[in-house]
Amino acid sequence: EEPGAVVTLKPGASATEAELRAHVAEHLAAFKVPVKVKFWHETLPRNANGKILKNELKKLFEEDAATA
């Protein structure tokens, strides 16, 4: 398994995958730096309690791996 990140930016904000990975690399151990970064332009999927549905996000990475 490799670490990945799903990122939503605030309106008007911009960042590249390289910028995000560099920022994370400054604060985390190398093995924790995401290999893949996905930009999510919609509201993150949440359950009734407002918690992010991590399994739904994980499916995005699994689908990409299956098509690669």
Q: Report the C-alpha gap between 4 and 7 in whole angstroms.
A: 10
Instruction: Report the pLDDT value the prediction gives residue 20, as an integer from 0 to 100.
Output: 96
CATH code, domain carrying 12: 3.30.300.30
* pLDDT tens sequence across 23-67: 999 999 999 999 989 999 888 899 999 999 999 888 877 877 777
For residues 32 and 4, the answer to whether their CB atoms sit within 8 Å is: no
- In the block, residue with structure tokens 């400054």: 26
Q: In the chain, how many domains are there?
A: 1
Enclosing domain of residue 44: 4-67
Write the single-letter amino acid at 62: E
